[in-house]
Amino acid sequence: MLSRTAENLYWLARYVERAEYIARTIDATLRVTALPAAYIGKTNEWESALLTAGVSASFYEAYQEANEQNVVEYLAFSPSNPSSIKNCIEAARLNSRSVRTALTSEMWDTINSAWIELQEVWGKGTSSREELARFLRFVQETSLRFDGSAYRTMLRNDAYWFSRLGLHLERADNTARILDVKYHVLLPEEEHVGGPLDYYQWTSILRSVSALTAYHWVYRETLKPWLIADLLILNDTLPRSLASCYSNLVRNLDQIGVAYGRQGASQRHARGVRNRLEHSHMDDIFQHGVHEFIQEFISDNARLGEIITRQYLI
């Protein structure tokens, strides 16, 4: 297929995934900030929402204070934030238009309808919490519909695999960013001094990767920070864990390699990252430092993006 088409499909999936992630971040932050101050301590949750979205620096160029109104506006609707939900959906639609021939009509319909709704219903932003909740639901549903229609209607060929690469690469980045911002509340077993304060931080982390229920099913335990880290980093069964994202990246890259009859740098790099995750234990990670581990992962993941681009997309 055309390199440009592959590139567009890859970015299309990334934008949709990112929009959903930002929506989840806002949603989780709203829940934490609704709690009485005694439960959440002095940390500014809106500040950390900006950090997990990776847009903290650019935010302060436009705003003074990281409060609910400003952060929601910036993350959801701001035209000057390239990762705002609005911009993600617009970029996704533009990408879709450029590769319409590679999309199924269901996928196009999802993105196009979302884009129309974005303009017609949400053109002026939201004016109440209730409206905001509806908006966030709309974004998450769009992502689900898009993902579902890709899964159900696309031919299983390179177009599908490139779109999945974008999805999993973005997803891995998002999960890693949450861990990066919140690593200080995820402590090894022996250092655990959790109060009610941390408890709500933990549920918030799990909620932003839609893993709160999953946690209980996997561990059948009350919330323990080292288990949360284990779930999000190493547990292959959780779709948003780093391990799961890399199983998928390796598989999709292998499928491309087989179809084209040629393996390359991206296959090797992805397999390297996957192997490291497979052979890691939480104890070692804590010993080595969660923060360092995550930092390294984020840069490895970004490297994979660059290698895929060089190998296939230009």
Partner 1 sequence: MAVAFDEMNGPGGDLRPAYRELSRWLKETPPDALEYRRQEAELLFRRIGITFAVYGDAEAQERLIPFDVIPRIMSAKEWATLEKGLKQRVRALNMFLRDIYHGRDILRANIIPDDLIFQNPVFRPEMNGQSVPHDVYVHIAGIDIVRVDADNFIVLEDNARTPSGVSYMLENREIMMRLFPDLFARHRVAPVERYPDELLSALRSVAPLSASAEPTVALMTPGVYNSAYYEHSFLADKLGIELVEGRDLIVKNDEVFMRTTEGLKRVDVIYRRVDDDFLDPLTFRPDSALGVPGLMSAYAAGNVTLANAVGTGIADDKAIYSYMPEVVKFYLDEEPILKNVPTWRCREPKDLSYVLDNLGDLVVKEVHGSGGYGMLIGPAATKATIEAFRDKLKREPEGFIAQPTLALSTCPTCTASGLAPRHVDLRPFVLTGSKHVTIVPGGLTRVALKEGSLVVNSSQGGGTKDTWILDE
Q: Would you tell me which residues interact with partner 1 (CB under 8 A)? A: 1-6, 94, 97-98, 100-101, 105, 108-109, 112-113, 116, 158, 162, 256, 260, 312-314
Residue 53 to residue 22: CA distance in whole angstroms = 7
- In the complex, the smallest distance separating the C-beta of residue 259 from partner 1, rounded to whole angstroms, is 9
- The least distance separating partner 1 from the CB of residue 260, rounded to whole angstroms, comes to 5
Nearer to partner 1, 137 or 262 (CB): 262
Query: Which is closer to partner 1, CB of 157 or CB of 275?
Result: 157
The residue whose two tokens read 């890399």 is: 246
Distance of closest approach, residue 151 Cβ to partner 1, in angstroms: 21
Closest separation between CB of residue 110 and partner 1, Å? Answer: 11
Between 72 and 99, whose beta carbon lies closer to partner 1? 99
Tokens of 65: 């204070």
Gap between the Cα atoms of 236 and 230, Å rounded: 10
For partner 1, the closer of residues 192 and 310 by Cβ is: 310
Shortest Å distance, C-beta 283 to partner 1: 41
* Residue 260, burial from CB neighbour count under 10 angstroms (0-12, 13-18, 19+): exposed
Residue closer to partner 1 (CB basis): 183 or 312: 312
**Contact predicate 15/95, CB 8 Å:** yes
CB distance 95 to 8 below 8 Å: yes
Q: Which is nearer to partner 1, 1 or 35 (CB)?
A: 1
CB of residue 102 to partner 1, shortest distance in Å: 9
> 3-state SS string over 16-42?
HHHHHHHHHHHHHHHHHHCCCHHHHCC
Q: Which residues of 96-126 are buried (b: 16+ CB within 10 A; e: fewer)?
A: bebbeebbbeebbebbbebbeebeeebeeeb
